[in-house]
Amino acid sequence: MYMSEKSKQIIDACRFCWMCRHICPVGNATGQERNTSRARALGLSVVNRGAAELSPDIMDNIYECQMCEACTCDCATGWDPTYFTKEVRLQAALDGKTPDYINAIVDKVLETGNIYGAKELDADLAAAIKAHAAKEDVILFLGAEARYNVPTAAQNAIKVLEAAGVKFTVLADEPASGYALDWLIGAADETKQQMTDCAAILAGYKTVVAFDPQDAKAFVREYKEYDLKVGAIVTFTAFVAGLIKDGALKVKNTGKAVVFQDPYQLARMLEETEEPRAIVSACATLNEMLLNRKDTVWAGGSFMAIYNPLVSELVSKERWTNAINVGADTIVTASVSEYAALKATAPEGKTVLSIEELVLSAL
């Protein structure tokens, strides 16, 4: 299998180093040695040296990584283990070595644009979207996760912007942003094509408000890498924080005590940690749990909830433990997929709120 010199260099740096073990959400949840950057690097280094094949077993391990970049963020030297992980996913796809359970998701994304293979929108959501069919300068990009997995989140996002009097467009046939393919098979032609098609549509708007941090990350990072031009990208949280600050969105503090779960895409990849806190602080009493801001830990959901649900569940439960340890009854999150995962694993008496739910409750 082809591997770039950069990947080989990172692999050889990481293969005997465990320093980031403590912040890997998967490894901490499963307790499995293979769920470390060190293990993935060691396995691949052994393959690179001809002492093992890139077996289905080793490929499975490549897909036990959430690519959350906690390890990268923690590394004092600056090595990025997700770099080689992503490259191996791409090369495996090119060589026909992608696991079947991943190919099944890829096929769904290629056919429907979402990882669930869903073709029909929730009726209420469809109606809410229809009300914003007119072309405006601002487009609210809901993303596939909200549209097909948590449609109430999408509806609430629309309601928040409506409450602020924002004129905005929501597309009935929203294109896939490409984040899913990028995560699944890296920078394949299919990924680039999906991103190119999406960029062509979004280029017609001055401002793109990305509701889902997964999409926002793709717009800001991968689109830039592929030199795809779109309008100004603003995360939903930054946009709403601005609306509150400007007085366009008037909220009152509900007095509810909450902790905020930083989506790793926002906190680490887009370096956005204070905007969501401004929202939460305006609507509730914000406390902090262990591992916040750029040190945040993934709270489950998304891809792994489909093909490795036990891991996703364990990861979510770990995050609940962090919240409970600081006495929190409510977690607020700005990630659609983490919202779903945390909701599914909420202990009795504990609540997860999406950030848009919190805002709506504070109007």
Partner 1 sequence: MVCNEFLTDIILTELEDAVGKENCSTREIDKITHGVDFFWLSRMWADRGRRMPEADFVVSPKDATETSKVMKIANYYKIPVTTWGGGGGSQGGAIPVAGGIVLDTKRMNKIYEVNTEAMYIECGTGAIYKHIEWAANEVGKATMHYPSSLTCSTVGGFLAHRGIGVVSNKYGKIDDMVLQMEVVLPNGDIINTSATPKHAVGPDLNQIFIGSEGTLGVITKAQLRIYDQPEERRFRGFLFQDMHGAFAASRELLQKFKPSVMRLYDEAETASLIKKIVGVEKKGAFMNIAYEGVKEMVEVEEKILLETFAKYGAEDLGSEYGEKWWKEKITFFYPGHMMDLPQMFGTMDTIATYDKIEKIYWAMKNAIETKYPFAKFIAHFSHWYEWGCMMYDRFIIDGEYVPKDPTEALKLHQEVWTTGIRTAIANGGVVNDHHGVGIKLGRFVHEQYGPAMQVLEGIKKQLDPNGIMNPFKLGL
| Least gap, CB of 3 to partner 1 (angstroms) | 15
Q: Give the one residue of 5, 50, 120, 165 binding partner 1; rule: CB under 8 A.
A: 50
| Short-list 277, 213, 279, CA closest to 241 | 279
The interface with partner 1 within residues 298-357 (CB under 8 A) comprises 310, 325-326
SS3 at position 249: coil
Binding to partner 1 by residue 293, rule CB under 8 A? no
Binding to partner 1 by residue 79, rule CB under 8 A? yes
Q: Which two tokens stand for residue 253?
A: 């503090």
Binding to partner 1 by residue 255, rule CB under 8 A? no
Amino acid at 194: Q
Q: Cβ closer to partner 1: 76 or 123?
A: 76
Sheet holding 168-169, edge to edge: 168-169, 138-141, 207-210, 232-235
| Least gap, CB of 18 to partner 1 (angstroms) | 3
Task: Please say whether the dihedral angle defined by the alpha carbons of residues 185, 189, 193 and 199, taken in this order, is positive or negative.
Answer: positive
Q: Give the one residue of 45, 207, 292, 337 binding partner 1; rule: CB under 8 A.
A: 45
| Least gap, CB of 322 to partner 1 (angstroms) | 9
| Least gap, CB of 234 to partner 1 (angstroms) | 34
Please return the burial class of 360, using the count of CB atoms within 10 Å of its CB with bins 0-12, 13-18 and 19+: middle
| Least gap, CB of 185 to partner 1 (angstroms) | 20
Q: Given the structure tokens 């401004």, which residue do they identify?
A: 278
Binding to partner 1 by residue 1, rule CB under 8 A? no
Q: Which two tokens stand for residue 94?
A: 């090119």
Return the range that interacts with partner 1 (CB under 8 A); candidates 28-36, 124-132, 203-211, 224-232.
Answer: 28-36
SS3 at position 233: strand
In angstroms, rounded to a whole number, what is the distance separating the alpha carbons of residues 267 and 285?
A: 20
Binding to partner 1 by residue 58, rule CB under 8 A? yes
Binding to partner 1 by residue 11, rule CB under 8 A? no
Axis crossing angle, helix 81-94 with helix 37-48, rounded to the nearest 10: 50
| Short-list 217, 219, 212, CA closest to 156 | 212
| Least gap, CB of 339 to partner 1 (angstroms) | 25
The interface with partner 1 within residues 191-210 (CB under 8 A) comprises none
Q: Give the one residue of 7, 25, 38, 125 binding partner 1; rule: CB under 8 A.
A: 38
Contact between 109 and 188 under an 8 Å Cβ cutoff? The reply is no
Q: Give the one residue of 1, 3, 19, 278 binding partner 1; rule: CB under 8 A.
A: 19
Binding to partner 1 by residue 22, rule CB under 8 A? yes
Binding to partner 1 by residue 33, rule CB under 8 A? yes
Q: Give the one residue of 43, 143, 178, 263 binding partner 1; rule: CB under 8 A.
A: 43
Radius of gyration from C-alpha coordinates of the chain? 20
Binding to partner 1 by residue 71, rule CB under 8 A? no
222: which DSSP letter?
Answer: I
Return the range that interacts with partner 1 (CB under 8 A); candidates 53-61, 227-235, 264-272, 280-288.
Answer: 53-61
Contact between 45 and 18 under an 8 Å Cβ cutoff? The reply is no
SS3 at position 58: helix
In angstroms, rounded to a whole number, what is the distance separating the alpha carbons of residues 175 and 112?
A: 9
Binding to partner 1 by residue 73, rule CB under 8 A? no
Q: Please report, as ranges, the residues that interact with partner 1 according to CB under 8 A.
A: 13-23, 27-28, 30-34, 36, 38-39, 42-43, 45-46, 49-52, 55, 57-58, 60-61, 74-77, 79, 290, 310, 325-326
